[in-house]
Amino acid sequence: MNASDRTPADLLRSALAADPARPLVTYYDDATGERVELSVATFANWVAKTANLLQDGLSAEPGERVALLLPAHWQTAVWLVACASVGVVADLDGDPAAADHVVAGPDRLDDGLACTGGRLALSLAPLGRRFPAPPAGYDDYAVEVPSQGDRFAPYVPVDPGAVALAVRETDGGRTELTGAGLVGRARADAARRGLGPGSRLLSGLAWDSWDGVSAGLYAPLAAGGSVVLCRHPQELAPEALAARIESERVTHRADEG
């Protein structure tokens, strides 16, 4: 990370410049047995394609709001940084009726229909598979994103002082963070957890609040570390968790910080 980084997209660029080959997000779904490991370079490629889809496919403009009706997932992490790259507000579990665009997982498709703007559906199936047919009222992200460019440049420079993320706090209220405010808070969380370059933080926290999404993405990214992101961790036996901690070289756990 660099002291001059002021947006989540800046943090990713710094990580890419430092070591593109190192792991950034290692994702487990303990209900399906899925494991996905994304290097910094691979994650950045997904972000670039998704940002191009946002900017050119959905015609999203800085300041617009994208409701992300998605769980803790590696593709959600991609969307959060892609939104920051374009300059749109990532409204995590936000009101689709108040959003300009919506991105919904398979369990939230009915909710997302309240959005009158662009709608994308994510199957969240292993290997990023498509839906058998696009859900009614939606385009399928897995169909639309592969053809997008591998490099991204915003048409308008992103303002670090503009709102980048809307998310719940642990008390249930919602907060809005600017890009610079998000980076500052992520750095503070990383310091509180003792994270630094090379740290690997294991998190099974839900992304229903800032604490969960900070542990699952922003704090490790701000620290120059990586995350082992676990969905449905309640399915994992204690001995299997211990084996994962060892095999993934976990240095920190979100439930201990």
Task: Give the pLDDT of residue 128.
Answer: 86
Task: Give the pLDDT of residue 188.
Answer: 97
Q: How confident is the model at residue 1 (pLDDT cuts 50, 70, 90)?
A: low
Would residue 198 be called left, alpha or beta, if left means φ above 0 and alpha means ψ between -120 and 50 degrees?
A: left
Q: What mean pLDDT comes out for the span 47-63? A: 97
Q: What are phi and psi of 148, to 5 degrees?
A: -75, 160
Is pLDDT of 4 > 90? no
Q: pTM higher than 0.75 for the full model? A: yes
Task: Give the pLDDT of residue 170.
Answer: 86
Task: Give the pLDDT of residue 257.
Answer: 65
β-partners of residue 140 are: 121
Q: Are the CB atoms for 8 and 183 separated by under 8 Å? A: yes
Q: What mean pLDDT comes out for the span 134-154? A: 97
In the chain, domain spans: 8-256
Residues near 220 by Cβ (< 8 Å), separated by ≥ 6? 24, 190, 195, 199, 200, 201, 226, 227
Q: How confident is the model at residue 2 (pLDDT cuts 50, 70, 90)?
A: confident
Query: Among positive and negative, which fits the CA dihedral 152, 156, 158, 162?
Result: negative
Amino acid at 6: R
What's domain 8-256's superfamily in CATH? ANL, N-terminal domain (3.40.50.12780)
Q: Are the CB atoms for 119 and 96 separated by under 8 Å? A: no
Q: Are the CB atoms for 148 and 57 separated by under 8 Å? A: yes
- pLDDT tens for residues 161-195? 999 999 999 888 999 999 999 999 999 999 999 99
Q: Are the CB atoms for 51 and 124 separated by under 8 Å? A: no
Q: What mean pLDDT comes out for the span 120-138? A: 94
- pLDDT tens for residues 7-42? 999 999 999 999 999 999 999 999 999 999 999 999
What contacts 24+ positions apart, CB below 8 Å, involve 93-98? 93/67, 93/68, 93/69, 93/167, 93/168, 93/208, 94/65, 94/67, 94/68, 94/166, 95/67, 96/67, 96/69, 98/65, 98/67
- pLDDT tens for residues 213-236? 999 999 999 999 999 999 999 999
Q: How confident is the model at residue 122 (pLDDT cuts 50, 70, 90)?
A: very high
- pLDDT tens for residues 63-98? 999 999 999 999 999 999 999 999 999 999 999 999
